[in-house]
Amino acid sequence: MTYRAPINDILLALNHGAGLKAAVEAGHYGDFDADLTAAVLEEAGKFASDVLAPLNKVGDQNGVKLADGKVTTAPGWPDAYKRWTEAGWNAVSGPEAHGGQGLPLAINAACTEIWSASNVAFGLCPLLTLSAIEALDAHGSDELKQIYLGKLISGEWTGTMQLTEPQAGSDVGALRTRAERQGDGTYRIKGSKIFITYGEHDMTDNIVHFVLARLPDAPAGTKGISLFLIPKFLVNADGSLGARNDIYASGIEHKLGMHASPTCTMTMGDHGGAIGYLVGEENAGMRCMFTMMNQARLGVGLEGVGVADRAYQQALAYAQERKQGRAVGKKGDGSDPIIVHPDVKRMLLQMRALTAASRSICYATAVALDVAVRAKDAGVRADAAARGALLTPIAKAFSTDIGNEVAYLGVQVHGGMGFIEETGAAQHYRDARITAIYEGTNGIQAIDLVTRKLGANGGASVFKLIDELTDIVRRVEASNDPAFGTTGAKLRDALGSLDRASRWLLEKLPSSPNDALAGATPYLRLFGSALGGCMLANEALAARSSGEADGARHVALARFFAETFAVQAPSLEKTVTDSAESIMAADAVLVA
Amino acid sequence: MTYRAPINDILLALNHGAGLKAAVEAGHYGDFDADLTAAVLEEAGKFASDVLAPLNKVGDQNGVKLADGKVTTAPGWPDAYKRWTEAGWNAVSGPEAHGGQGLPLAINAACTEIWSASNVAFGLCPLLTLSAIEALDAHGSDELKQIYLGKLISGEWTGTMQLTEPQAGSDVGALRTRAERQGDGTYRIKGSKIFITYGEHDMTDNIVHFVLARLPDAPAGTKGISLFLIPKFLVNADGSLGARNDIYASGIEHKLGMHASPTCTMTMGDHGGAIGYLVGEENAGMRCMFTMMNQARLGVGLEGVGVADRAYQQALAYAQERKQGRAVGKKGDGSDPIIVHPDVKRMLLQMRALTAASRSICYATAVALDVAVRAKDAGVRADAAARGALLTPIAKAFSTDIGNEVAYLGVQVHGGMGFIEETGAAQHYRDARITAIYEGTNGIQAIDLVTRKLGANGGASVFKLIDELTDIVRRVEASNDPAFGTTGAKLRDALGSLDRASRWLLEKLPSSPNDALAGATPYLRLFGSALGGCMLANEALAARSSGEADGARHVALARFFAETFAVQAPSLEKTVTDSAESIMAADAVLVA
């Protein structure tokens, strides 16, 4: 089956869960015309359904091929990419000075979900280009921007991020690729990188690589890393393509999923070294890379949301169609679609509720990042920047955990058919798996949340957010709507657990950092469950007060989330605070 | 890396978690010599490590091929199967009257875990043969037993279970395969079946199919189903093979995992119909099939345990070897193995604790099924049968959910390498996926638990078990061992939740069955978490009182389980009792 972008759900999440409407009304979005949003998303949905979704299985089944250093993508992919750039989708949030449409990140976030849902292996390519654009725009010289930025924004050329080496995965500071200064201001780079997404492909005539390397006199570790722009083909003064640069794909990986996305081993230096151009200052590459990675982390979170929604739509359609057994207590002949069974309803509701919660968290992150650069008031900008920083690891890890869980349930709803590749449910399950790993594993996101985001300012960002969320709970309770069931009580308990777990971690961080780190993953889950639950409740309140029939629907969804997921918060709190001791005893248990 | 059977953990779980030692001491195992257990398991472990484990990846990578109705298995597989039967492993628990070793199911359960851990796609074949043996032994005529039982027990021939048709998956009563009586007492069967595991292969010279079909005058639904034995090759009076029977593999499935296990579409009737022999009475096939399925359900649970342990062993080895980053606070050069990081320790402990809990639950099921047939006292047998019936759906569903969760974590511990197929972690993740689906989806197990097992006798079996588990908690508390941390309190809370959720379900079952069914899946999880937690605590008490160094290790593991998993029980209880209303509102939410 195909994919249909859930425009109404997206708009509700953007405007109310994520707070876009309030931010626009407060003037934080400048002259952005919010009335455009629905039209842009409708068009994105059409492109996704018509062009990208039909290629999703084609890409999975055909994969990519490497021969003589050249990568061939799946049938139809280069053409789809051409249509993608021609329709202007690559340029949605790019700076207007270089041909972008300058739309908010929040709009682009919704688009990223839509691309990921329709074809996550395709959407991954522009996601990385977008990160490259961010880094170049923020740190590149005017000359580099002049040559490369427009082409990257239009999508005529794609971008890569090259950090990883075999001995330097999560520990970027351990990388060994070497850069040597040339007399002409350029650099020669030699070394190799692994796991480079779209490191080589046949969809564009040039690829702009962003490569981390180390100068001969660089300090050890992350303080000695510089960022270089290395084009696949050098660019002549008139903008035409020149000589082939010494950066080649020497291998591609055979992966569990994302078959259509080439994951390359890149080799530089077989022909004298790749010519590279410094981005930012020497030895300041990590800062540039973080610009790319934060953007990419939100993007990966949105991949989680997108794959989850795709899996949900497919499972829902199957459950409505597949007849098996009878509804309890029903008389007469014939069988019913499996959606009549409460256990199937539960699975579908879990899928929908988790997807909706992770969507709202990701969109809220994008709104915060927008306001952090668009608001007039410096205080508002600073607060939004802190909020965006706080939410980024949650958006990445919670949403991709959910992407995997929802895809798992999607297979389960299909029963035996789910295990058969032809059905397509298994592809989502396979594709989703990498999202919890790349751009910083979800464990690393949890550590970032506890040490850098919670710990950075004595928890101020967290406690401010809890106050805002508590206000939502108050409004749920004040509504006195019995359809909310125990939503108010469950969310209040969840926020209490979040508050106490945060204080416990803050107390442990300086004195017993390992105890705090042991609780990082359950803390992130607790955070996402409480936050997502409150956001869904906020959306339900908004839908309800709009007086439309949809109100009851969103109240029921918020209630289900609160009673099934937010309700886990007290248990997660206990795991954070109680289990550090047994984790510290792990060596004795594990290494027998 | 290879697989090493965790003999000490297995023996602890068998003897203390599952209660084998007590049952033997009480005389319920007759003349079974328990001193044999360790030796049998050591040998099984050797065979698994030496013969089966090395073929696991070979099978995954080569898969199976179908041409001209013949299936070719992966290189080395027919030879391994030959060694398997020659070594006597197929006959472990088979009846001695037909050449089996007559060992308890509990011993065979441990062996099944070992086969599944070393090579789950291989182990699946004898698992189904074992089910066929059970059905034939219980329901077959003496003549059929004389011809087929010995060959099935030795493994010279394999067995299949053929229930599923495209319109009849979980709803077996909807099947349409037809059987017609012949004048000679045999039957002609025409129709087709899907998803038939090892329906055709090249490892033995005959295959004995157990096929459900419907006689022309059969009543509708499950009351009109008969079970037929259909040999691939007819058997002559002297035991030699005769004509090829009219049952052929017409297709094989392209699956997410279990690539080495042929999943066949079977066609009967292209050449006049397959000759079949009735097993049991006409129209009583469902009862015979349930004999096969209960056995198979425990076997599938053990597949979950096995795959989980394999994934754990591989992840542990990787975490000890892979260097990345530094331990917190450590000075000096060089990087540390990732097992120093608390978040990695947590993942590994989760893997080990979940695996251990599901192991004990499965073994306890096997012990109950043993005592149900071996004990001298009829009352003891009846109680054990009720216990076995109660535990079977938990053994199947909880253990296979865990198999999937642990394999997921196994990939995560590997980081980016986990997504690369060569690493092997992804194979476990793919292979595990079907275990939550086949032999009755885990949702169906949960429904069975709530309606047939809890509901059957007013909850008597459940409350009796809770009493026994409460005694374990009392002993944990009485130990006053600070190393248990909050284990006692967490388990006491979990049992309280289990008790309350059970009573709520019992109250709802007659009046609002859909409300009860809506809570079935979280109830099963709650049950498994409380039960598994208590069993691990019981094992820790036993290990501790033995005075060996291992005691501290098992106490830490039990504590970790209680503080990370059993602690979820109160949340699960709330989900059972609170979320039925929102599930009943699902249609409005889902079908917009």
- The tens digit of pLDDT for each residue in A185-222 reads 999 999 999 999 999 999 999 999 999 999 999 999 99
Contacts of B329 in chain A (CB under 8 A): 513
In this complex, the residue of B348, B586, B591 whose CB is nearest that of residue A586 is B348
Query: ∠ at Cα B526 (B401, B412), nearest 5°?
Result: 35
pLDDT beyond 90 at B368: yes
Per-residue pLDDT averaged across A377-400, rounded? 97
Separation of alpha carbons A324 and B175, rounded Å: 11
Query: ∠ at Cα A462 (A458, A467), nearest 5°?
Result: 120
Contacts of B563 in chain A (CB under 8 A): 574-575, 578-579, 582
Per-residue pLDDT averaged across A111-130, rounded? 97
The residue whose two tokens read 């949905």 is A45
Considering only CA atoms, which of B307, B508, B324, B525 is closest in space to residue B408?
B307
Per-residue model confidence (pLDDT) at position A2? 87
Phi, psi of B506 (to 5 degrees): -60, -35
Separation of alpha carbons B323 and B58, rounded Å: 28
Annotation marks residue B507 as catalytic: no
Distance to chain B for A185, nearest Cα, Å: 33
Separation of alpha carbons B24 and B332, rounded Å: 56
Please give the mean pLDDT across all residues of chain B.
Answer: 95
CATH fold for domain B156-287: Butyryl-CoA Dehydrogenase, subunit A; domain 2 (2.40.110)
What are the start-end ranges of the H helices in A146-267?
A: 150-154
Of the two residues A457 and B140, the one the predictor is more confident about is B140
Question: ipTM greater than 0.95, yes or no?
Answer: yes
Per-residue model confidence (pLDDT) at position A113? 98
- Find residue B251's DSSP bridge partners: B265
Half-sphere exposure of B78 (CA within 13 A, CB side): 11
Per-residue model confidence (pLDDT) at position B2? 87
What H or E segment, with its residue span, contains residue A547? none
pLDDT beyond 70 at A592: no
Q: What contacts B140, CB < 8 A, 6 or more positions away? A: B148, B149, B229, B279, B280
Q: Which of A113, A165, A303, A439 is catalytic?
A: A439
pLDDT digit string, tens, across residues B285-314: 998 888 777 789 999 999 999 999 999 999
What H or E segment, with its residue span, contains residue B567? none
**Number of Cβ atoms within 10 Å of the Cβ of B198:** 26
Per-residue pLDDT averaged across A466-477, rounded? 98
The residue whose two tokens read 């980081």 is B415
Per-residue model confidence (pLDDT) at position A332? 76
pLDDT digit string, tens, across residues B389-406: 999 999 999 999 999 999
Residue of A nearest to B509 (CA): A328
What HEC string does A47-64 produce?
A: HHHHHHCHHHHHHHHHCC
Per-residue model confidence (pLDDT) at position B592? 61
B518 touches chain A (CB under 8 A): yes
Per-residue model confidence (pLDDT) at position A457? 86
What H or E segment, with its residue span, contains residue B415? none
pLDDT beyond 80 at B572: yes
Domain A158-287 CATH class label: mainly beta
Which of B165, B322, B412, B419 is best to mutate for the A interface (most A CBs within 10 A)? B419
Select B7-64+72-151's CATH number: 1.10.540.10, 3.20.20.70, 3.30.470.30, 3.30.360.10.
1.10.540.10
pLDDT beyond 70 at A1: no
pLDDT beyond 90 at A493: yes
- Contacts by A426-430, CB closer than 8 A, 24 or more apart: A426/B256, A426/B433, A427/A56, A427/A57, A427/A60, A427/A257, A428/A307, A428/A310, A428/A311, A428/A314, A429/A257, A429/A311, A429/A404, A429/B256, A429/B433, A430/A256, A430/A257, A430/A258, A430/B256, A430/B430
% of chain B with per-residue pLDDT over 70: 99
Surface of B (432-461) touching A: CB under 8 A: 433-434, 436-438, 441-443, 446-447
Per-residue model confidence (pLDDT) at position A294? 78
Per-residue model confidence (pLDDT) at position A173? 86
> How many residues are given for chain B?
592
β B207-213/B226-231 pair status: antiparallel
Interchain pair A560, B552: CB under 8 A: no
When mean pLDDT is compared across B19-28, B91-100, B312-321, B408-417, the lowest value belongs to B91-100
Which of A539, A571, A575, A584 is best to mutate for the B interface (most B CBs within 10 A)? A571
Surface of B (239-298) touching A: CB under 8 A: 253-257
Separation of alpha carbons B286 and B273, rounded Å: 22
Architecture of domain A7-151: Orthogonal Bundle (1.10)
% of chain A with per-residue pLDDT over 70: 99
% of chain A with per-residue pLDDT over 90: 90
* pLDDT band for position B329 (cuts 50, 70, 90): confident
pLDDT beyond 80 at A402: yes
Residue of A nearest to B172 (CA): A325
Q: What contacts A536, CB < 8 A, 6 or more positions away? A: A17, A353, A356, A357, A360, A554, A557, A558, A561, A562
% of chain B with per-residue pLDDT over 90: 90
DSSP letter for each residue of B430-475: HHHGGGGTSSS-HHHHHHIIIIIIITTTTTHHHHHHHHHHHHHHHH
When mean pLDDT is compared across A521-535, A539-553, B223-237, the lowest value belongs to A539-553
A557 touches chain B (CB under 8 A): yes
Query: ∠ at Cα B247 (B242, B250), nearest 5°?
Result: 135
β A158-162/A207-213 pair status: parallel
Measured in whole angstroms, the distance separating CA A297 from the mean position of its chain's CA atoms is 5
β A158-162/B187-197 pair status: unpaired
* pLDDT band for position B1 (cuts 50, 70, 90): low
Phi, psi of B169 (to 5 degrees): -100, -95
Surface of B (378-417) touching A: CB under 8 A: 404, 408, 411-412, 415-416
Distance to chain B for A208, nearest Cα, Å: 23
* pLDDT band for position B566 (cuts 50, 70, 90): very high
Q: Which of B165, B303, B405, B439 is catalytic?
A: B439
Q: At what angle do helices B520-545 and B378-413 cross, to 10 degrees?
A: 100
Separation of alpha carbons A558 and A472, rounded Å: 12
Exposed/middle/buried for residue B220 (C-beta within 10 Å: 0-12, 13-18, 19+): exposed
Considering only CA atoms, which of B395, B393, B407, B408 is closest in space to residue B361?
B395
Per-residue model confidence (pLDDT) at position B325? 86
Q: Are B278 and B284 in contact (CB under 8 A)?
A: no
